[in-house]
Amino acid sequence: MATQNSSLDNLRKGTYTLTVLGCGTMGTAVLAAILNSSFSPYPSKIICCTGSENSSLKLKQTYPNIEVSFGDSNLEAVAKADLIILGCKPFMCSQIMESIKSSLHDQLIISLLAGWTIKNLQTYSPYIARVMTNTPAKYGCGMAVVSLSDEAEQFNDLVLKLINPIGKAIKLPEKNMDAATSLVGSGPAFCLLMMESLIDGGVKMGLPFVAAKECAAKVMEGTAKMVLESGEHPASLKSAVCTPGGTTIGGLLVMEDKGVRSGIARGVEEAANIASKLGKK
């Protein structure tokens, strides 16, 4: 079994064991991104903990290069860890962490849980990295916001190397994490609602569904890339699409009449408000 000092030393030397505790949607997305990437220092061993033998076997079939565990064997997997990625559902966190508490020895914990603050998680280790990412991470085009406890700052570079493979990671103060939970974590669902609306409009005007879906997806993908690569404000790029008296300005005014802009902005606000309550006990 590793000890506190040896785990921290292993992290500093870059010869560390990574245990993913909870391989649900986000835990698996980050795992897939790490396995599909190459960086240094890379984990010497990756162990994934699940709640059942069936889910453990499925995970092993999908990712043959990892070790898996389930049930009581998760205690040993946690004990071997120098670094833990906590990827369970937020409402399950207390139960899971209490069940493996005897195997914890102040490892670095990277939490993917919405609402759980660094202070909440420091019940289990001083070394906490709080990360909010999203489901596109599975495809290497996700976004992540990272906050670190003071004790974990020494591992800043390692945390960013582990999280960057999901697409892009940026570091922000923890006070911004609820907003990041909304914009980054919930954002894909908001974008998918907008995409679905574009598809519906295309179908209404006679496009086949498959064609409308492909067009809408590529329009959103291309527009996002244009914003990122040009560095220009979205409003400036939007204006460049609007021909006087043309189709685009006509459609935009109808959307403004319907409150599309304020509806989306208020949706982000409401999701952030909900996120602020998730970790409260």
Q: CA-based Rg of the chain, rounded to a whole angstrom?
A: 21
Amino acid sitting at position 230: S
Positions at the binding site: 21-26, 50, 74
* Domain membership of residue 84 as a residue range: 2-172
CATH code of residue 16: 3.40.50.720
**Are the C-beta atoms of residues 203 and 212 closer than 8 Å to each other?**
yes
Domain shared by 120 and 204, yes or no: no
Q: Average pLDDT, whole number, for the chain?
A: 92
pLDDT digits (tens, 9 = 90+) for 67-117: 998 888 889 999 999 999 999 888 888 888 998 999 999 899 999 998 899
pLDDT digits (tens, 9 = 90+) for 239-258: 999 999 999 999 999 999 99
Q: What pLDDT sits at residue 24?
A: 81
Domain shared by 125 and 225, yes or no: no
Domain shared by 65 and 84, yes or no: yes
Cis ω for the linkage preceding 41 (within 30 of 0): yes
Q: What pLDDT sits at residue 25?
A: 84
Q: Dig out the tokens for 89 from the structure.
A: 């559902």
Domain boundary among 139, 172, 205: 172
Could you give the number of structural domains in the chain? 2
Domain shared by 119 and 189, yes or no: no
Domain shared by 140 and 187, yes or no: no
Domain shared by 153 and 218, yes or no: no
| 8-state DSSP, 131 | E
205, 210, 214, 222 from 219: Cα distances, Å: 17, 14, 8, 5
Domain boundary among 139, 155, 172: 172
Domain shared by 108 and 239, yes or no: no
Q: What pLDDT sits at residue 52?
A: 85
Residue 118 CB neighbours (<10 A)? 21
Domain shared by 91 and 141, yes or no: yes
CATH code of residue 198: 1.10.3730.10
Q: What pLDDT sits at residue 184?
A: 96
Q: What pLDDT sits at residue 188?
A: 96
Domain shared by 70 and 97, yes or no: yes
Instruction: Give the pairing of strands 128-132 and 108-111.
Output: parallel
26, 143, 217, 246, 254 from 194: Cα distances, Å: 23, 19, 10, 22, 15
pLDDT digits (tens, 9 = 90+) for 43-58: 999 999 988 889 889 9
Q: What pLDDT sits at residue 279?
A: 62
Q: What pLDDT sits at residue 3?
A: 56
Q: Residue 114 and residue 263: Cα distance in Å, rounded?
A: 23
pLDDT digits (tens, 9 = 90+) for 206-236: 999 999 999 999 999 999 999 999 999 999 9
Element (H, E) at 45: strand 45-50
Among 130, 177, 131, which Cα is nearest to 275's? Answer: 177
Amino acid sitting at position 170: I
| 8-state DSSP, 184 | I
Positions at the binding site for NADPH: 74
Q: What pLDDT sits at residue 280?
A: 63
pLDDT digits (tens, 9 = 90+) for 130-186: 999 998 988 889 999 999 999 999 999 999 999 999 999 999 999 999 999 999 999
Domain boundary among 128, 151, 172: 172
Positions at the binding site for NADP(+): 21-26, 50
Domain shared by 112 and 248, yes or no: no
Look at residue 4 and tell me whether its pLDDT is greater than 80.
no
Q: Residue 99 and residue 113: Cα distance in Å, rounded?
A: 17
For 155, phi then psi, to 5°, come to -110, 20
Among 72, 74, 271, which Cα is nearest to 180's? Answer: 271
Domain shared by 120 and 15, yes or no: yes
Q: What pLDDT sits at residue 72?
A: 83
Domain shared by 37 and 11, yes or no: yes
